[in-house]
Amino acid sequence: MPTPDAGRRAHLRQAATHVLFDNWTGAATVPSRALYPHQWSWDSAFIAIGLRHIAPRRAQRELETLLGAQWGDGRIPHIAFNPSVPLGAYFPSPDFWRSSTAGRNAGAPSTTQTSGIVQPPVHALAAWQVHLADPAESRRRGFLPRVYPRLAAWHRYLSTSRDLAGGSLAAVVHPWEPGLDNSPCWDEALARVEPAPRQSFRRADLDHSSAADRPTDLDYARYVRLATTYRDHAYDDARTPHAFAIEDPSFNALLIASEHALAAIARAVGADAGAHLRRAETATAALIDRLWDPAGGIFLARDLVTGEPIAGHSVSGLVPLIVPGLPQDIASALVGTAHGPRFRLGQVHLVPSYDLTAKKFDANRYWRGPSWFNTAWLIHHGLVRHGEAGAAGRLRAQFLTAAYRSGFAEYLEPYTGEGRGIRRFSWTAALALDLLHACDEGDSAR
């Protein structure tokens, strides 16, 4: 698929800009007006990465608003709620999480209502890129000196309170935390969780999406139970009996890549970069030691309750391609796996979220098979990092064409490329802007 020409790119840029501006609420961007009417953590990081090309100051604001919802223990909550949105518009709503009371000991803010769980740490990566887009404006506003201590506290939280196995990797304690909510990789761990009574909650997502595309009611009942247990233990990581505790490859790869970005930020603000680089090095060694599967040529998540690797092959296992300094033999194996029968890079649309050859693969249901734009963007960067310019260029062209054709869909059916989920989805538009910028840079380098 050829890269769209300059005319089409201008059109796409305009359409993507509209999506982001329509989804801007005055201090942050919602992922979608209908389905996700609040601020989400990793969405905002991806959104800032795109926004920086069209509105660098707004991109700074996006991250600052999110960091304003940070807890005293360093965690960045996965949702910062907008108080003007009715409670019934999204479930679980603030009255479920009760952050300002249940989370008081963990330092939850008293004014902003938030969830109590987290999402992948893409933020330092985003902050550094936002700074680089307009360094003069960033310096004028003191952007980096303001965000650095908060980002450092965030990484400290993940590397200490969330290092549940003491193996130098961060654990996720809810399937919403890695962002790949209902991946088949979580099935076994989730099956151990007693579902919450079905009548104890009302899903709002099905008001906006087809039930066949979304997680099942049983999954939801288990998500609710896990979140309730965490809340009822005051969101205290040491005290909560975590029935679900997993070391996820992409969550940790993003932490490592962000730790490198934090080192660059530290250098820019005159702080010590060494500690961040050392932490990145230790975590990279742990990632390989604890999660690399040489036989499969992919990283596997590890279930900390059983202590065993999780056998399913998910796109999460390819994301460590973005880790700076990943040994070349591992990077080459990952590129081979991406092109192999399980993911068929270049032959299907983007990168399927789950192994195409597996029984549990489902081309439509959420993270159980469909291709998502944010993971494609990450794999694209991994390919560029490891000198795979041809494959990266083809993926970029596919991404841009699919983003446009699908009306900035949330995700795609990988075989047909048809859009699924919600349309005018913010990170799809934002990351399209970022890849358009990469195309323009390629043009000017020619």
Task: Enumerate binding residues for ligand 9WN (CB under 6 A).
Answer: 31, 36, 40, 42-43, 78, 176, 179, 181, 205
* Residue 333 Cβ vs ligand 9WN, minimum distance, rounded to whole Å: 27
Token readout for 141 is 């506003």
Q: Which of 43, 134, 181, 219 is catalytic?
A: 181
* Residue 205 Cβ vs ligand 9WN, minimum distance, rounded to whole Å: 6
Single-letter amino acid code for the residue at 377: W
How far is 256 from 199, CA to CA, in rounded Å? 41
Q: For residue 104, give every residue at least 6 positions away whose Cβ sits within 8 Å of its Cβ, in sequence order, or none.
A: 110, 234
How far is 176 from 182, CA to CA, in rounded Å? 8
* Residue 373 Cβ vs ligand 9WN, minimum distance, rounded to whole Å: 11
Beta-bridge partner residues of 32:
36
How far is 99 from 193, CA to CA, in rounded Å? 23
Question: In this complex, which beta carbon is closest to ligand 9WN, that of residue 143 or of residue 235?
Answer: 235
Is 213 among the catalytic positions?
no
* Residue 220 Cβ vs ligand 9WN, minimum distance, rounded to whole Å: 9
Mapped onto helix, strand or coil, the DSSP state of residue 287 is helix
* Residue 46 Cβ vs ligand 9WN, minimum distance, rounded to whole Å: 9
Beta-bridge partner residues of 24:
29
Q: Which of 92, 90, 314 is nearest to 209 (CA)?
A: 90
Question: In this complex, which beta carbon is closest to ligand 9WN, that of residue 143 or of residue 176?
Answer: 176
Please tell me what DSSP assigns to residue 241.
-
DSSP 389-408: HHHHHHHHHHHHHHHHHTTS
Instruction: Tell me how far CA of residue 403 lies from CA of 219, 288, 301, 314, in angstroms.
Output: 29, 33, 29, 22
Question: In this complex, which beta carbon is closest to ligand 9WN, that of residue 21 or of residue 91?
Answer: 91
* Residue 310 Cβ vs ligand 9WN, minimum distance, rounded to whole Å: 18
Q: Which of 248, 303, 362, 410 is catalytic?
A: 410
Q: For residue 295, give every residue at least 6 positions away whose Cβ sits within 8 Å of its Cβ, in sequence order, or none.
A: none
Burial 126-159 (b: 16+ CB within 10 A, else e): bbbbbbebbeeebeebebbeebbebbbbbbebbb
Q: Which of 27, 268, 249 is nearest to 124 (CA)?
A: 268
Is 187 among the catalytic positions?
no
Question: In this complex, which beta carbon is closest to ligand 9WN, that of residue 122 or of residue 438?
Answer: 122
Question: In this complex, which beta carbon is closest to ligand 9WN, that of residue 88 or of residue 336?
Answer: 88
* Residue 40 Cβ vs ligand 9WN, minimum distance, rounded to whole Å: 4
Question: In this complex, which beta carbon is closest to ligand 9WN, that of residue 43 or of residue 237?
Answer: 43
Catalytic residues: 181, 410
